[in-house]
Structure 1
Amino acid sequence: MAEEFEIRNKVAESGLINFDLTDLVPRGARKGIDLKDFLFMEMILKEKDFREKVAAMDAEEYRDTYVYIYNSADAIVPLWAYFLITAKLSPVTRKIVFGNREDLEVILMHNAIQKYDFSEMRGKRVLVKGCSDKEIPENAYIELVEQLQPVVKSLMFGEACSNVPILKN
């Protein structure tokens, strides 16, 4: 008494598009530069010494990396100091920002979302994956909703078996 039955993937049949923000995370090394290492006694910027240290930097160490420049010292650093480091490294890096690692990730995700072509999702039901092995800045989810809201038929967050409806157009 063997009954014939067909195994069906109801999620695939539903026309639901699964979107994983981690697919947009730019690949490549991230490197930080702490300006305190360029300061006299980690407190004072002496222009001549600073320029010499920047000139001595090996730019190749930063080739094809994403760089964030920060200052962990309690010192006032003039804006031109950031100009010098950026001018030295920008020909070889992928991106340079002022701030910490989290600031860099927010900017990278912003750029990735702005460049992404969401036209394939026009009029579709979209599920944004909720769990990830990579850390995604919260702001990326906000920007993603801004981009998807005028395009999609419906937007959900979570997993196919357990999702939260966000909007319907």
Structure 2
Amino acid sequence: MDTQVFVNKAAASGIIAFDFSDYKPTTEIIELDIKDHLFMGMIVKEKEFKESISAVDYSVYQNKAVGIVCSTDAIIPPWAYMFLMEKLSPYAVYVDLNSAEKILLDLWKRRLIYADLKHFKDQKVVVRAHSSHDPSLYVLATELLKPLVKSLMYGEIGLPKVIFKK
């Protein structure tokens, strides 16, 4: 009887995967809408604004990332953001004037920038494709991996698109 041996060509190729999911931040992100602290939802009246901001229980932001947003078209003076940051700083691990979605992307990029990628040195690396990942992550991955890797690819190990070869 003739026995056939199947070889997993993907495993034999020596290509290793770089998956963004391994670097996704786990910090919970909460948006704080300052509209609720404005007079008529539109105007910063200093005394009322400071009283309203001071009355907030900031412990709900403990160890979380906070995105400060304003869902109305109000003009907010810079001191108001500074006042709010002063209140958030003992609790939040990260604060920015951005939506939760943009903060997630920023934190994700920071994790990639500070990641130890030396195990990819002189390797054939494929950056895994995922339609929900922001394209800027792929740009950053290329910038970070190109100086290290022997070859850089996109897609899946079994059928990658070559981006760069040394």
Q: TM-score, normalised by structure 1?
A: 0.90
Q: 2: distance between equivalents of 1:121 and 1:144?
A: 12
In structure 2, do the counterparts of structure 1 residues 150 and 46 end up closer, same or farther at CA, with 3 Å as the change threshold?
A: same
Q: 2: distance between equivalents of 1:142 and 1:48?
A: 46
Tell me what 1:74 maps to. Answer: 73
Tell me what 2:51 maps to. Answer: 52
Matched, 1:150 2:147: yes
Q: 2: distance between equivalents of 1:82 and 1:11?
A: 52
Tell me what 2:157 maps to. Answer: 160
Q: 2: distance between equivalents of 1:8 and 1:90?
A: 56
Tell me what 1:18 maps to. Answer: 17
Q: CA deviation at 1:145?
A: 0.6
Report the residue type matching 2:148 in the other structure.
Answer: V
Q: CA deviation at 1:105?
A: 2.1
Q: CA deviation at 1:7?
A: 4.0
Q: 1: distance between equivalents of 2:134 and 2:78?
A: 27
Structure 1 residues without counterparts, runs of 5 or longer: none
May I ask how many residue pairs the two structures share in their alignment?
166
Matched, 1:137 2:134: yes
Report the residue type matching 2:133 in the other structure.
Answer: I
Q: 2: distance between equivalents of 1:160 and 1:131?
A: 13
Task: Report % sequence identity.
Answer: 36
Per-residue CA shift, 1:1-40, capped at 9, x if unaligned? 2x33434332222221111111111013211011111100
Q: Secondary structure at the match of 1:50?
A: helix
Q: TM-score, normalised by structure 2?
A: 0.92
Q: Secondary structure at the match of 1:68?
A: strand
Tell me what 2:31 maps to. Answer: 32
Structure 2 residues without counterparts, runs of 5 or longer: none
Report the residue type matching 1:107 in the other structure.
Answer: D
Report the residue type matching 1:79 in the other structure.
Answer: P
CA RMSD of aligned residues (A): 1.6
Are 2:16 and 2:157, in contact at CA under 8 Å, matched by a contact in 1?
Answer: no
